[in-house]
């Protein structure tokens, strides 16, 4: 066989539109396959896929602010890997909304190096990987918020403080506690606690009627209120950080309870 036959076949060029949430989700799937962990390990990056789907399903993909933040979380990750010679066959079209900061690039590459060296089956290494995720995620969100600052006033009333609070306050709270961003935890939070539509002012005024489930309305109200008091973040961060692990434990307990119920239901059908 000739040398040309032995050479590795280069993958065909694939083009993705950076403005399309459907294309962003495809990019996230590629990145998840690139950094796939063992089946027993919870992948910290699952949360970004679930969050992107939530934004698309709830109409937030049509808001420039949310789109800019999501662009930074998805496209910057791909661009960082491309700077290291990966995914050369992928071309990007659409709006290049914000340049990739050098610091974010280096932190992303550090994270992916850690993923590819992940082999030990123990909670310590899994916890360290989650910490590295929060380090780069918090850095990315900080840079994304600066980039999207010009778009803050494009957010609708009601949605604005919730969105800004999610980026400026909640990311810091969750990072402080090394909160799990694996699929099992984040999917339940998204379904039960995050508002499944764009907010309006009445949603945050408890005396006004509202069609949101109570848990979603309370979450939106708390995050919006925290943003309004963000200057006091250093004071209430320890309190919020103390409560976050309890939320995670309750979610995991609920998941296990549902699994047990499913087993009992299956056994009853077999009897």
pLDDT at 271: 65
Q: Which of 160-164, 199-203, 242-246 has the lowest mean pLDDT?
A: 242-246
pLDDT of 9 strictly over 80: no
- Condensed to tens digits (0 to 9), the pLDDT of residues 84-116 reads 999 999 999 999 999 999 999 999 999 999 888
Average pLDDT, the chain: 84
Alpha helices in the chain (DSSP H): 3-6, 21-34, 46-57, 64-83, 102-116, 123-148, 159-165, 171-176, 183-192, 214-228, 233-270
pLDDT value at residue 161:
96
Quote the pLDDT of residue 241.
58
pLDDT band of 192, cuts 50, 70, 90 = confident
Identify the band that residue 170 occupies on the pLDDT scale cut at 50, 70 and 90: confident
d(Cα 232, Cα 141) in Å, to the nearest integer? 20
Top-confidence residue, 39 or 80 = 80
Inter-residue contact 217 to 208 (CB < 8 Å)? no
Q: Minimum mean pLDDT among 12-21, 152-161, 233-242: which range?
A: 233-242
86 and 115 Cβ atoms separated by less than 8 Å: no
Report, in angstroms and rounded to the nearest whole number, the Rg of the chain calculated over CA atoms. Answer: 20
**pLDDT band of 264, cuts 50, 70, 90:** low
Which residues sit opposite 15 in a β-bridge?
91
**From CA 59, how far away is CA 66, in angstroms rounded?**
10
Contacts 24+ apart (CB under 8 A), 29-32: 30/78, 30/87, 30/90, 31/77, 31/78, 31/81
pLDDT > 50? residue 250: no
Which residue in the block uniquely carries the two structure tokens 């006033």?
A: 153
Q: Is the separation of the CB atoms in 186 and 43 below 8 Å?
A: no
- 157 forms beta bridges with none
What's the confidence (pLDDT) of residue 189?
A: 80
**pTM for the whole thing?**
0.82
Residue 245 scores a pLDDT above 70: no
Query: Above 60 in pLDDT, residue 62?
Result: yes
| The pLDDT of residue 186 is above 70 | yes
Mean pLDDT of 120-132: 69
Total count of residues recorded for the chain = 271
Cβ atoms within 10 Å, residue 175: 21
251 pLDDT tier (thresholds 50, 70, 90): very low
Q: How large is the average pLDDT for residues 250-271? A: 54
């Amino acid at each position: 066989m000739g040398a040309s036959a032995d050479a590795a076949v280069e993958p065909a060029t694939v083009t993705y539109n950076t403005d399309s949430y459907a294309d962003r989700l495809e990019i996230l799937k590629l990145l998840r396959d690139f950094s796939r962990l063992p089946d027993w390990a919870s992948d910290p990056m699952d949360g970004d896929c679930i969050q992107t789907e939530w934004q698309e399903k709830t109409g937030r993909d049509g808001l420039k602010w949310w789109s800019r933040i999501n662009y930074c979380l998805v496209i910057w990750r791909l661009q960082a890997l491309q700077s290291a010679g990966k995914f050369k066959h992928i071309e990007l079209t659409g709006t290049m909304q914000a340049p990739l900061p050098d610091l974010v690039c280096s932190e992303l590459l550090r994270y992916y190096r850690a993923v590819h060296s992940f082999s030990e089956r123990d909670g310590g290494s899994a916890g360290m990987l989650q910490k590295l995720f929060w380090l780069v995620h918090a850095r990315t969100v900080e840079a994304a918020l600066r980039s999207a600052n010009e778009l803050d006033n494009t957010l609708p009333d009601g949605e604005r403080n919730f969105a800004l609070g999610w980026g400026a306050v909640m990311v810091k709270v969750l990072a402080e506690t090394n909160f799990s961003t694996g699929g099992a935890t984040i999917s339940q939070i998204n379904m039960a606690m995050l508002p499944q539509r764009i907010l309006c002012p009445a949603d945050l005024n408890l005396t006004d009627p509202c069609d949101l489930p109570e848990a979603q309305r309370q979450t939106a109200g708390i995050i919006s209120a925290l943003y309004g008091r963000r200057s006091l973040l250093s004071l209430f961060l320890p309190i919020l950080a103390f409560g976050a692990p309890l939320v995670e434990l309750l979610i995991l307990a609920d998941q296990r309870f549902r699994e047990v119920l499913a087993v009992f239901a299956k056994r009853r059908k077999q009897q």
